[in-house]
Amino acid sequence: MSTVLVLGAGMVGRAIALDLAQRHKVSSADINLNNLKVLNSNSQSLINVVECDLSDSNLVKKHVSDFDIVVSAVPGFMGYKTLQAIIEAGKNVVDIAFFSEDAFGLDELAKDNKVTAIVDCGVAPGMSNLFLGYHSNKMNVTDFKCYVGGLPFSREFPFQYKAPFSPVDVIEEYTRPARYVENGHLVVKPALSDAEYLSFEKVGTLEAFNSDGLRSLIKTINTPNMIEKTLRYPGHIEYIKVLKEAGFFGEEEIEVKGMKIRPIDFTTSILFNKWKLNDEDDEFTIMRIEIKGNRQGIEESYIYDLFDKRDKISGISSMARTTGYTACAAVELVLNGQYSIAGISPPEFLGKEESCFISILTYLAERNIKYHVLKQ
């Protein structure tokens, strides 16, 4: 039985810990005692809980030292620093923190410490990378599109949205410039730009907008046309644009009645209550991946569709399942020696290994997360 430490006991971190605890000795670390209490109240397996300030790199190094592998599920703003601490401690790691920094800045450090560090290992980024990595190893991919979103079934005014993870990370998605590749050239546009409508059989019309989800793919995969767009209910984008243009996401302090505050901190506090995903909230994850290219001169195209709902028996949200269980599958690949390459490995590297690709899809299918493929 292997030992696993999950850093972060939020919604996704809890899902990861609960799944891995069925096969391994798992500990969960978080500064939030309420998160840790919820974890063990929902677990039939004993998960050791550790109260720890994960923003302290020295504490992170101390706590990871006795484990076979670490999963980092901390908020994005502290992800890079946490990953660096884990690598410096010489521990293999699977990371879903989705930080803004370039993970390859830690590649040499990971290689020097003989650490396998799988990053961005969620649904998107994550599974989207895996599919592109797999097909780019089989054919000359010319076009890649990914549409993805996590949404509640109940559409409540004004945002029609619930956040399955930290509102800080969601706002980052709305403010960080979106990068995509067009005709072999990198294009940078504001997030929320180039809105378009798409129809989905089970949920109707959704609105897609540019977001910075390609991440490592821009460097690692030589495909001339690549883009990722986030999906929301129609109308959501307009409300976010109003907040953004009005300065509610500003990071410069302003003075209010003699007190200094960053607008983004105020906005996050308000939206946390508006966007909080409660246990009774039914929600879904939806993703469509389109891949086109040619194999030995013959045109081929693939469409992958995912529609996943909250597990009503376990109470685990769909976004926690689709993100967290992908990370769990990667943990198993490292623990059983199926993937052991030292350095930073985004999921497209795993996708190029057919056995890893099949193992991850099988792992998810066993948990009723099924990607349906249409070959044209």
* 154 and 10 belong to one structural domain: no
Residue 175's contacts (CB-CB under 8 Å, 6 or more residues apart) are 191, 244, 249
Q: What is the residue range of 49's domain? A: 3-123+319-369
* 19 and 162 belong to one structural domain: no
* 220 and 288 belong to one structural domain: yes
- Return mean pLDDT, the chain: 94
The predicted-structure confidence for 2-51, as pLDDT tens digits, reads as follows 999 999 999 899 999 999 999 999 999 999 988 888 887 765 568 999 99
The answer to whether the peptide bond before residue 125 is cis (omega within 30 degrees of 0) is yes
Residue 94 belongs to a domain with what CATH number? 3.40.50.720
* 149 and 74 belong to one structural domain: no
* 340 and 250 belong to one structural domain: no
* 265 and 201 belong to one structural domain: yes
* 334 and 301 belong to one structural domain: no
- Among 149, 159, 154, 166, which residue's Cα sits nearest to residue 319? 149
Domain edge (last residue) among 309, 335, 355: 309
Say if 173 falls within a structural domain.
Answer: yes
Say if 56 falls within a structural domain.
Answer: yes
Say if 375 falls within a structural domain.
Answer: no
CA angle 271, 148, 270 (to 5 degrees): 0
Say if 15 falls within a structural domain.
Answer: yes
Say if 376 falls within a structural domain.
Answer: no
* 158 and 304 belong to one structural domain: yes
pLDDT for res 292:
97
Say if 374 falls within a structural domain.
Answer: no
Domain edge (last residue) among 309, 340, 355: 309
* 58 and 136 belong to one structural domain: no
Say if 352 falls within a structural domain.
Answer: yes
* 353 and 279 belong to one structural domain: no
Instruction: Give the chain's residues under pLDDT 70.
Output: 42-45, 164-166, 376
How many domains are contained in the chain? 2
Give me the count of residues in the chain: 376
Residue 186 belongs to a domain with what CATH number? 3.30.360.10
Which residue type sits at 248? F
Cα 90 from Cα 95, distance rounded (Å)? 15
Structural contact between residues 250 and 171, judged by C-beta atoms closer than 8 angstroms? no
Torsion of CA 113, 213, 276, 118, to 10 degrees: -20
* 278 and 173 belong to one structural domain: yes
pLDDT for res 195:
95
Say if 114 falls within a structural domain.
Answer: yes
pLDDT for res 164:
66
What backbone torsions phi and psi does residue 245 show, to the nearest 5 degrees? -70, -25
* 133 and 118 belong to one structural domain: no
pLDDT for res 54:
95
